[in-house]
């Protein structure tokens, strides 16, 4: 949809060949997956649990400012680990191959107000299958923002930087609402739909439990540190939300990332699907610690190509994937976090204003293949 199609130089055969090469990369990791990987995730889980427990312990004394600082920082990191490197990836089925019922996509529940069952549907199924397809992938702008020049402008979009910021602060609630497709379902009769009601109830239950734990039970346990513990937990939740929102924005919003039209994916081949994932995602460059704290979503491109490979393998896969980008002369969108966050926010601001419709339109993939 961007003025110039960055994949126009590839023939249909090349795209299929690219698909085969990516399949080979995947097979290699799968054949090699084993004990070390299992030990990795177990270690991460136990570190996360220990850190959370220790931080909550320190917060019992959060009436003392240094304890407050330490506990809040620890809890923020623990929550980020729970959501990113552990929760997101376990729920993708990345660790299902271990056959450990406790670390499995069908049983995992995370420290997040969206119940994992619902999140798996909207994220794994809708977002990952229809990545960046306007009208199909609701992650694009979360239904509240305009993310492409071709989308119709509405005065509502003037406020989108503000909407986006509020969404960032309360991101987990945004996600829950979004998993429920609240916008769509609050209309008309849909509210009465028993299936929707059951799902809304499940979200309500989860929110109640989470809120009770963070804002009632743990503060109460802290006795005289009631208020400071409450403030600490609130802060940790907001820090986690801002962080995950930033990381996720960097995955598909920065300049240079392509979006696709609904009809362009009709009859899509495996190679074309891969190509869409490649062009529709962006990475964040940085240190090992940085990759870890983003749940390896800094390797968003690799994650979108192989959402079920263990996250600890994305770094090594990235080297090979990047070589393929080069070979096929495609742009590998990546950059350090501040640059990517700025780029994504810049787009949010830019598209809050109306623009002229671009004159040249990307030829439809189907037509293009016929031509080739």
Partner 1 sequence: MTSTALRSRAWKLLEMVTTPLLPSDYLDLVRPLRTGADLRGRIEAVHPETRDAATVVIRPGRGWRGHTAGQYVRIGVDVDGVRLWRAYSLTSPANRQDGRVTITVKAIPDGKVSNHLVRRAKPGTLIQLDQATGDFVLPQAKPAKVLYLTAGSGITPVMGMLRDTELDDVVMVHCAPQPQDVIFRDELHGLVADKKLRLTEVHTDTDGMLDIARLDELVPDWTERETWACGPAGLLDAAEEHWTEQGIQERLHTERFRPGIVVAGDGGEVTFSATGKTVDADGATPLLDIGEEAGVLMPSGCRMGICFGCVTPLKAGAIRDLRTGEITEAEPGVLIQTCVSAAAGPCDIER
Q: Which residues bind partner 1 (CB under 8 A)?
A: 23, 26-27, 30-31, 33-39, 46, 49-50, 53, 92-93, 96-102, 104-106, 109-111, 120-121, 124-125, 128-129, 206, 209-210, 212-213, 217-218, 221, 270, 273, 307-308
Query: Is the Cβ of residue 33 or residue 339 nearer to partner 1 in the bound state?
Result: 33
Least distance CB 26 / partner 1 (angstroms): 8
Query: Is the Cβ of residue 5 or residue 139 nearer to partner 1 in the bound state?
Result: 139
Least distance CB 133 / partner 1 (angstroms): 13
- Using CA atoms, how far residue 7 sits from 11, 95, 209, 259, 334, in Å, is 9, 33, 48, 13, 18
Query: Is the Cβ of residue 26 or residue 322 nearer to partner 1 in the bound state?
Result: 26
Least distance CB 89 / partner 1 (angstroms): 12
Please give, one letter per residue, the 3-state secondary structure of the chain: CCCCCCCCCCCHHHHHHHHHHHHHHHHHHHHHCCHHHHHHHHHHHHHHHHHHHHHHHHHCCCCCHHHHHHHHHHHHHHHHHHHHHHHHHHHCCCCHHHCCCCCCCCCCCCCCCCCHHHHHHHHHHHHHHCCCECCCCCCCHHHCCCCCCCCCCCHHHHHHHHHHHHHHHCHHHHHHHHHCCHHHHCCHHHHHCHHHHHHHHHHHHHHHHHHHHHHHHHHHHCHHHHHHHHHHHHHHHHHHHHHHHHHHHHHHCCCCCCCECHHHHCCCCHHHHHHHHHHCCCCCECCHHHHHHCCCHHHHHHHHHCCCCCHHHHHHHHHHHHHHHHHCCCCCCCCEHHHHHHHHHHHHHHCCCCCCCCCCCCCCHHHHHHHC
Query: Is the Cβ of residue 30 or residue 369 nearer to partner 1 in the bound state?
Result: 30
Least distance CB 5 / partner 1 (angstroms): 24
Least distance CB 128 / partner 1 (angstroms): 5
Query: Is the Cβ of residue 124 or residue 285 nearer to partner 1 in the bound state?
Result: 124
Least distance CB 266 / partner 1 (angstroms): 15
Our measurement of the distance from residue 212's CA atom to the centroid of its chain's CA atoms, rounded to an integer in Å, reads 26
Query: Is the Cβ of residue 5 or residue 82 nearer to partner 1 in the bound state?
Result: 82
Least distance CB 109 / partner 1 (angstroms): 4
The alpha carbon dihedral of 156, 157, 162, 165 has a sign of: positive
| Torsions phi, psi for 285 (to 5 deg) | -95, 160
Query: Is the Cβ of residue 105 or residue 185 nearer to partner 1 in the bound state?
Result: 105
Query: Is the Cβ of residue 41 or residue 200 nearer to partner 1 in the bound state?
Result: 41
Q: How many Cβ atoms are within 10 Å of 289's Cβ, its own excluded? A: 8
Query: Is the Cβ of residue 14 or residue 210 nearer to partner 1 in the bound state?
Result: 210
Least distance CB 3 / partner 1 (angstroms): 30
Least distance CB 308 / partner 1 (angstroms): 6
The two structure tokens encoding residue 297: 């979503």
């Amino acid at each position: 949809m961007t003025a110039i199609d960055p994949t126009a130089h590839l023939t249909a055969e090349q795209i299929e060949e690219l698909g085969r090469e990516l399949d080979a990369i995947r097979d290699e990791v799968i054949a090699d997956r084993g004990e070390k990987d299992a030990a990795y995730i177990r270690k991460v889980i136990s570190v996360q649990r220990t850190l959370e427990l220790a931080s909550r312990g320190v917060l019992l004394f959060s009436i003392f400012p240094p304890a407050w600082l330490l506990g809040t920082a620890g809890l923020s990191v623990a929550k980020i680990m729970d959501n990113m490197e552990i929760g997101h990836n376990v729920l993708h089925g990345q660790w299902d191959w271990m056959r450990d019922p406790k670390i499995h996509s069908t049983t995992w529940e995370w420290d997040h107000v969206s119940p994992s069952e619902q999140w798996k549907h909207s994220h794994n199924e809708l977002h990952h299958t229809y990545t960046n397809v306007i009208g199909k992938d609701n992650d694009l702008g979360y239904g509240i923002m305009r993310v492409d020049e071709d989308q119709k402008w509405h005065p509502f979009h003037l406020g989108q930087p503000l909407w986006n910021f509020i969404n960032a602060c309360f991101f987990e609630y945004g996600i829950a609402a979004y998993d429920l497709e609240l916008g769509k379902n609050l209309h008309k009769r849909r509210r009465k739909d028993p299936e929707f009601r059951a799902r809304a109830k499940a979200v309500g239950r989860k929110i109640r439990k989470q809120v009770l734990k963070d804002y009632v039970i743990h503060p109460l346990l802290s006795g005289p540190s009631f208020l400071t513990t409450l403030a600490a937990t609130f802060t940790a939740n907001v820090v986690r939300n801002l962080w995950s929102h930033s990381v996720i924005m960097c995955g598909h919003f920065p300049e240079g990332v392509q979006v696709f039209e609904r009809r362009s994916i009709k009859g899509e081949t495996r190679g074309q699907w891969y190509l869409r994932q490649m062009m529709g995602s962006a990475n964040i460059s940085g240190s090992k610690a940085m990759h870890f704290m983003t749940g390896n979503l800094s390797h968003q491109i690799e994650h979108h190509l192989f959402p079920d490979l263990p996250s600890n393998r994305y770094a090594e896969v990235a080297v090979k994937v990047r070589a393929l980008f080069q070979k096929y002369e495609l742009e590998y969108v990546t950059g350090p976090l501040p640059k990517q966050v700025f780029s994504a926010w810049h787009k949010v601001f830019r598209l809050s204003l109306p623009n002229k419709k671009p004159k040249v339109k990307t030829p439809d993939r189907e037509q293009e293949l016929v031509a080739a």
